[in-house]
Chains A and B, each alone.
Chain A
Amino acid sequence: MKSNKIRTLRGKANGWNVFLMCVLVMEFVVFGIANPKFLRIPLLLSSVNDFIAICLISLFVTFVMITGGIDIQAGAIVGLTSIIIGVAWQDFGFNIWGAVVLAVVAAALCGALSGFFIAYCRVQAMVVTLGGSFLYAGLALLVSTLSSTESYQGISGFPESFKALTKFKLFGVIPSQLIIFVVMIVIAYLLLHKSKYGRRVFLVGVNPQAAEFSGINSRLVVMSTYILSAISAAIAGIVLTSYLGTAKSDLGSTLTMNIITACVLGGTLSTGGKGNVLGTALASLIIGLMRFGMPLCFKVGTQYLDIPVGVLLILVVVGRAIMEKPQTAVVLANLKKKFRPAAKAAQ
């Protein structure tokens, strides 16, 4: 009985992923017809630079949302990592890779701090990460004042080895960002769906009390998800800094809605307990390609891109709410009844 239920759940998740695949293919078709330039492989592959941050972060924000929390501070952490790399390298004489490690550690600490308040002091995730988004954006600004460069200019002139991180192309076409994305998907997938830790994350999301009683340190699990999402934000910050060649404190300040949309569109339940990495990855690609294709094919200004993403978010949540209403179930059942006699008659 129980295994049946799990199987149907898994079936549903797969069904949703298939739907997302269809949407992705449809995007290719529509954008490709509107402007054949869209399908040029090098252009398409390099477009990943514009939305890589959304892809990387949403993978691990999925973890947070499965435990029933939410993370709106990730965008601020992207800026913080970027500026820490810049200032540590330029003004404190760190080796560039030392600066990168320092930035990742700092981001992990930020995530741990917020996670600690959420898990151990039982403050709502929404408020803590809201405070965190202020705090870490503010810290980023303060760190930028330590530098001799004016903060609005950003710190540039990084060594080639650091820039090469994102200039590298496998077989001359596949940019390293895409490879990083795939590696992160694999890591997130193994962690969430194939490991003990992943099972714990799900159980904590479904029922924290039950998780606690079955010997899981649910608070530690909750805290760890925030650390993971902060680290993914740090990686996004490194990739962006390396690609743009400038460290700025306000990188990533506009990411929040895109990240949440990617998670929700990917089938993650914001009340916790449900979600999968592949869905989020597909959804983030859908959003990314939309952000790339709309300006290219339909001459939509980049400032307007919040509209389609917002509409998408609303449509998905409303659609899902309608599907879950008992009335819809009745309507669907009636429809089935109506069509079944017809089918029988045809036989």
Chain B
Amino acid sequence: MNKLKALLKARETNSFLFLVALFAIVSIINPEFASVENISACFNSSVVYILIAVGMAFAILVGEIDVSVGSTLGFVATVVGSMLRDGVNWGVAFTVGILIGAAVGLLNGWGVAVMGIPSLIFTLGVNGVLRGAMYVYSNGAWVENLPKNFKNFSSVTLFGEFTVYFVCCLLLVLVVHLLLTRTRRGRYFTAVGDNASGATLVGISAVKTKIVAYVICGVMAAIAGIIFCSRIGFVTSISGNGYEMKAVAACVLGGISLSGGVGSVVGAAIGAVIMSSISYLLVFMGFSSNYDNAITGIILITIVVIDALLQHRSAVRMRHERLLNRTAGTVEGGDGK
């Protein structure tokens, strides 16, 4: 158990070290980068990614996946954005947005956990429906002219260069992390992801846990959508496209195993910072942003391949040890007789 804990720790530390190394290398190549403004800009611009990655982390921890978060984000941003534009009370608009997120999560949870449909396929369908619903709601037009004070709120800073959003987001990640690792219900998620039938046998409802995970994922995407509105200031009909893939990539970079049960939301958040910083860092390294996707893909594939090879090796070693122990036991037993 201690070993496992150490391993878990190592996975996040690795991604954190990777992030630090990334910043260090870029600073060496281009000393201009090594300023508080630039580094805090990397963190500030990653808020939306962190939120959806943390939500996605829940879906992946229980051993499923949710590729509808991108369009959930876009749909919520469209709805909340147009409500704010029309002068609806902020509280009402935010509540509606979060309720939409929760409803999408509930639908996903029902399809995946209750009906037992492969999660990638079901959420892909929901993704398409929401993407279309976004067009229907906005008639394909941009949502613009959001209230000024709503937009300005994104540039309010706390503690020097960090925005309020980033600080709140950081607190949220820490709270969620503590809830996940220190409470009984929090541990249910990793238990279900690790071994769903085993968890059911000891009295944890895998179905309920998965539904809750999807609802959290949807709500996180909704919050990300609201912040997206405030930060960007307008919503187009393709807003949020491809975010689901970046969220999955962030989780993988953060050391969350896609087979479920291994990883933490802190890892997901670190992965999200790496993902969102890449295009920013490329500019400082003198590459055009055209390299963005290719480098993201290379990093993603390299990390999962290395991870899979290491896992395979440790599995083989453990099997070998088990076998040795068993044969040693029988030999001793034979001696005893």
Stretch in A43-51, A118-126, A183-191 with 4+ CB within 8 Å of B: A118-126
Residues in B with CB closer than 8 Å to A313 are 121, 124-125, 128
Residues in B with CB closer than 8 Å to A117 are 301, 304-305
- Is A271 part of the contact surface with B, judged by Cβ < 8 Å? yes
Residues in A with CB closer than 8 Å to B301 are 117, 128, 131-132, 135
Identify the closest chain B residue to A309 (Cβ): B128
Residues in A with CB closer than 8 Å to B116 are 321
CB distance from B252 to the nearest CB of A (A): 6
Residues in B with CB closer than 8 Å to A135 are 293-294, 296-298, 300-301
CB distance from B210 to the nearest CB of A (A): 15
- Is A317 part of the contact surface with B, judged by Cβ < 8 Å? yes
Q: Are A270 and B127 in contact (CB under 8 A)?
A: no
Contacts A122-B312, A138-B292, A303-B237 known; A261 to B125 CB distance under 8 Å? Answer: yes
A/B pair count, beta carbons within 8 Å: 146
- A residues 163-182 with Cβ under 8 Å of B? none
Annotate B300-331 by CB proximity to A: 1 below 8 A, 0 otherwise.
Answer: 11001101110010000000000000000000
Of B111, B115, B312, most A-chain CB atoms within 10 Å: B115
Bound Cα distance A303, B248 (Å): 26
- Is A304 part of the contact surface with B, judged by Cβ < 8 Å? yes
Q: Are B308 and A310 in contact (CB under 8 A)?
A: no
Residues in B with CB closer than 8 Å to A218 are none
Q: Are B300 and A131 in contact (CB under 8 A)?
A: yes
Give the contacting residue for B135; candidates A303, A310, A314; CB below 8 A: A303
On chain A, which size bracket covers the interface?
Answer: 35 or more
Give the contacting residue for B290; candidates A124, A141, A307, A311; CB below 8 A: A141
Residues in A with CB closer than 8 Å to B129 are 306-307, 310-311, 314
Q: Are A127 and B136 in contact (CB under 8 A)?
A: no
Bound Cα distance A312, B117 (Å): 14
Q: Are B120 and A126 in contact (CB under 8 A)?
A: yes
Identify the closest chain B residue to A126 (Cβ): B120
Q: Are A301 and B294 in contact (CB under 8 A)?
A: no
Q: Are B121 and A264 in contact (CB under 8 A)?
A: yes
CB distance from A308 to the nearest CB of B (A): 8
Q: Are A307 and B297 in contact (CB under 8 A)?
A: no
- Is B291 part of the contact surface with A, judged by Cβ < 8 Å? yes
- Is A82 part of the contact surface with B, judged by Cβ < 8 Å? no
Residues in B with CB closer than 8 Å to A317 are 111, 115, 117-118, 121-122, 125
- Is B147 part of the contact surface with A, judged by Cβ < 8 Å? no
Contacts A310-B125, A317-B122 known; A305 to B132 CB distance under 8 Å? Answer: yes
Annotate A141-164 by CB proximity to B: 1 below 8 A, 0 otherwise.
Answer: 110010000000000000000000
Identify the closest chain A residue to B115 (Cβ): A321
Contacts A130-B248, A131-B301 known; A257 to B124 CB distance under 8 Å? Answer: yes
Residues in A with CB closer than 8 Å to B296 are 134-135, 138
CB distance from A328 to the nearest CB of B (A): 11
Q: Are B127 and A122 in contact (CB under 8 A)?
A: no
Identify the closest chain A residue to B68 (Cβ): A310
Q: Are A124 and B259 in contact (CB under 8 A)?
A: yes
- Is A322 part of the contact surface with B, judged by Cβ < 8 Å? yes
Identify the closest chain B residue to A137 (Cβ): B293
**Residues of chain B whose beta carbon lies under 8 Å from any beta carbon of chain A:** 65, 111, 115-118, 120-122, 124-133, 135-136, 140, 237, 245, 248-249, 252, 258-259, 288, 290-298, 300-301, 304-305, 307-309, 312
Identify the closest chain A residue to B295 (Cβ): A138
Other contacts beyond A128-B304, A312-B125: 7, CB < 8 A? A121-B312, A124-B258, A133-B245, A134-B300, A256-B124, A306-B131, A310-B131
Bound Cα distance A123, B310 (Å): 11
Residues in A with CB closer than 8 Å to B237 are 303
CB distance from B286 to the nearest CB of A (A): 14
CB distance from A307 to the nearest CB of B (A): 3
Residues in B with CB closer than 8 Å to A309 are 128
Of A70, A133, A256, A303, most B-chain CB atoms within 10 Å: A303
Q: Are B297 and A314 in contact (CB under 8 A)?
A: no
Q: Are A260 and B121 in contact (CB under 8 A)?
A: yes
Q: Are B132 and A322 in contact (CB under 8 A)?
A: no
- A residues 95-133 with Cβ under 8 Å of B? 117, 121-124, 126-128, 130-133
CB distance from B15 to the nearest CB of A (A): 16
Residues in B with CB closer than 8 Å to A304 are 132, 135-136
- Is A30 part of the contact surface with B, judged by Cβ < 8 Å? no
CB distance from A287 to the nearest CB of B (A): 11
Bound Cα distance A127, B300 (Å): 8
Contacts A145-B290, A260-B121 known; A306 to B304 CB distance under 8 Å? Answer: no
CB distance from B219 to the nearest CB of A (A): 21
Contacts A123-B304, A131-B304 known; A139 to B115 CB distance under 8 Å? Answer: no
Q: Are B297 and A132 in contact (CB under 8 A)?
A: yes
A–B complex contacts, Cβ < 8 Å, 7 sampled: A124-B258, A127-B300, A131-B249, A134-B294, A138-B296, A142-B294, A304-B132
Give the contacting residue for B297; candidates A121, A133, A303, A308; CB below 8 A: A133
Bound Cα distance A172, B118 (Å): 45
Bound Cα distance A43, B308 (Å): 50
Bound Cα distance A322, B117 (Å): 10
Of A133, A139, A314, A321, most B-chain CB atoms within 10 Å: A314
Bound Cα distance A271, B293 (Å): 29
Q: Are B121 and A270 in contact (CB under 8 A)?
A: yes
CB distance from B245 to the nearest CB of A (A): 6
Give the contacting residue for A310; candidates B126, B294, B305, B307; CB below 8 A: B126
CB distance from B289 to the nearest CB of A (A): 9
Contacts A121-B308, A134-B294, A136-B297 known; A127 to B258 CB distance under 8 Å? Answer: yes
Give the contacting residue for A131; candidates B126, B297, B308; CB below 8 A: B297
CB distance from B105 to the nearest CB of A (A): 15
Bound Cα distance A135, B130 (Å): 26
Bound Cα distance A7, B308 (Å): 39
